[in-house]
Amino acid sequence: MSYASLMVDVGAERSYPIEIFVGNLDQIGDDFGVIPSARNALIVTNTVVEGYYLSALKKGIGKNFQRIFHISLDDGEAAKNWNSLNKIYDVLLQNECDRNTVIFALGGGVVGDMAGFAAATFMRGIPFVQVPTTLLAQVDSSVGGKTAINHPLGKNMIGAFYQPKAVICNLETLSTLPSRELSAGLAEVIKYGPIFDMDFMQWLETSVEQVLAKDMKSLAFAVHRSCEIKAAVVGRDERETGLRAILNFGHTFGHAIEAGMGYGVWLHGEGVAAGMVMAAELSRRLGMVDEAFVQRLKSLIERAGLPVRGPVLDASDNAGRYLELMRIDKKSEAGEIRFVLIDGPGKAVVRGAPDALVREVIDACCA
Ligand code: NAD
Ligand code: GLY
């Protein structure tokens, strides 16, 4: 049943497994020895995922807990906020959950980021397990311990680094994922190539259609290799003091798109996709990659069903609006925007760029 098991090495006490498999969540307690046991479990999910997978997960972890509660949050990025977070605390407190409680995040990156932040902060920290059900969450957000909610002024601005106890990644859950969401997840898969592994990018160039068709072998390789790369990066720089920032390729522009359009209008992966093209174009204008590389990346992104041009956020001063939004970014230093740029295929660096050049790129890359 298990396709692969990987470790995220963040030090002896906190290292944890990623179990990648094709099967049913109702057997995970028997199949994997990595599910914690405690008095209480709280499954955090949303109104969409609940209908597909909640009862199976409840059954799967049934032997490990005396009491299992759940909460279904509103669906979507617009719900990644204080209000939803408070609902998680409410259900924990109303049911007199103490520290002998494990939170399960059942859903995509939105649920995972919020459930993780609730676990990081409830009673100063209780264990949690990621059960990612979108491609994006399986290849990126469930791994590495970034947890957060959005602020109206900026994406993921309130959060904590807090690692899960395990990531239980059932590829079978992708069978119900809408194609737009599958494509959005592919953006985070594509990013690993230009920043880290051009062989992986080459594999994707031959396999993207099979991934989109949900061919299980192709999905399994895409998830496995993505998790390997993410685990390697996080293992070297858990708290993003340096290297880990390369995982934000495309995100500086992408987060501006998400916030500027209103959370949920563009999916996170769609913003990242157009953002990667802009970051690649900025790299080209700085002499770090050639035109052929930008075209190659663009073509892969297009084939994945993703946008290669950013939206116009402000008809009167579009570039100005992007710059304003991008200054509120966790990589910014003293108001200087720092971008993840490609310094030759397969290698990323984090650096600033003159505003005038960034303006040119935005003007050239937006619809
Ligand atoms: P999402 O959580 O909103 O899920 C996408 C949609 O798919 C939702 O409508 C959801 O209800 C639905 N869904 C989930 N699983 C399903 C399934 N199996 N079948 C049918 N529908 C299903 O979005 P996402 O793309 O998974 O995650 C995006 C979020 O992840 C963003 O908030 C982003 O900031 C965050 N993120 C975090 C990290 C991190 O390191 N923590 C990394 C990347 C992205
Ligand atoms: N998704 C970026 C990171 O985890 O660092």
Residues 165 and 188 in one domain: no
How many other CB atoms are there within 10 angstroms of residue 152's CB atom? 9
User: Cα 19 to the chain's mean position, in Å?
Assistant: 17
Phi, psi of 40, deg, nearest 5:
-120, 150
In this structure, the answer to whether residues 165 and 253 fall within a common structural domain is no
**How much of the chain exceeds pLDDT 90, in percent?**
94
Distance CA 218, CA 59 (A): 29
User: Which of 128, 160, 176 is where one domain is finished?
Assistant: 176
pLDDT in tens, 261-294: 999 999 999 999 999 999 999 999 999 999 999 9
Domain end: 176, 208, 237, which one? 176
Residue 196 and residue 332 in one domain? yes
Mean of the pLDDT values across residues 7-22?
96
Q: Residues 339-357: what's their mean pLDDT? A: 97
| Mean pLDDT (whole number) for 63-69 | 98
For residue 138, give the DSSP letter.
I
Question: 4-13, 130-139, 305-314: which has the minimum mean pLDDT?
Answer: 4-13
Q: Per the residue annotation, which of 58, 80, 146, 224 is the catalytic one?
A: 146
Q: Which residues of 357-366 are buried (b: 16+ CB within 10 A; e: fewer)?
A: ebbebbeebb
Q: Do 323 and 293 fall into the same domain? A: yes
Both 148 and 71 in a single domain?
yes
Please give the distance, rounded to the nearest whole angstrom, from the Cα atom of residue 328 to the centre of ligand 2.
Answer: 17
The pLDDT value given to residue 279: 98
Does 194 share its domain with 56? no
Under 8 Å between Cβ of 148 and 156: yes
In the chain, the number of structural domains is: 2
pTM of the model: 0.97
Enumerate the β-bridge partners of residue 342: 348
Question: Is the pLDDT reported for residue 121 higher than 60?
Answer: yes
Do 156 and 213 have their domain in common?
A: no
Q: Kindly state whether residues 195 and 250 are assigned to the same domain.
A: yes
Last residue of a domain, one of 137, 158, 176: 176
Domain housing 325: 179-365
One domain, residues 145 and 34: yes
| Helical spans, DSSP H, in 213-309 | 216-236, 251-261, 268-285, 291-303
**3-state DSSP assignment of residue 97:** coil
Q: What is the pLDDT of residue 153?
A: 85
Domain identity same for 289 and 346: yes
* In a shared domain, residues 156 and 243: no
Residue 316 has φ and ψ, to the nearest 5°, of: -85, -35
Q: Encoding tokens for residue 161?
A: 């680094």
In Å, how far are 4, 110, 247 from 144, measured between CA atoms? 18, 15, 11
CATH number assigned to the domain comprising residue 236:
1.20.1090.10
Residue 3: per-residue pLDDT: 78
Q: What pLDDT score was predicted for residue 283?
A: 98
- The reply to whether 151 belongs to the active site is no
For residues 202 and 131, state if they share a domain.
no
Determine the pLDDT at residue 335: 83
Q: Name the catalytic one among 87, 155, 225, 268.
A: 268
Please tell me the predicted confidence (pLDDT) of residue 154.
84
CATH number of the structural domain spanning residue 41: 3.40.50.1970
Q: Which residues of 22-55 are buried (b: 16+ CB within 10 A; e: fewer)?
A: bebbbebbebbebbeebebbbbbbbebbbebbbe
Give the per-residue pLDDT at 2: 66
Report pLDDT digits (tens) over 194-203.
999 999 999 9
The pLDDT assigned to 1 comes to 54
**Residue in 237, 247, 340 to alter for ligand 2 test, most ligand atoms within 8 A of Cβ:** 247
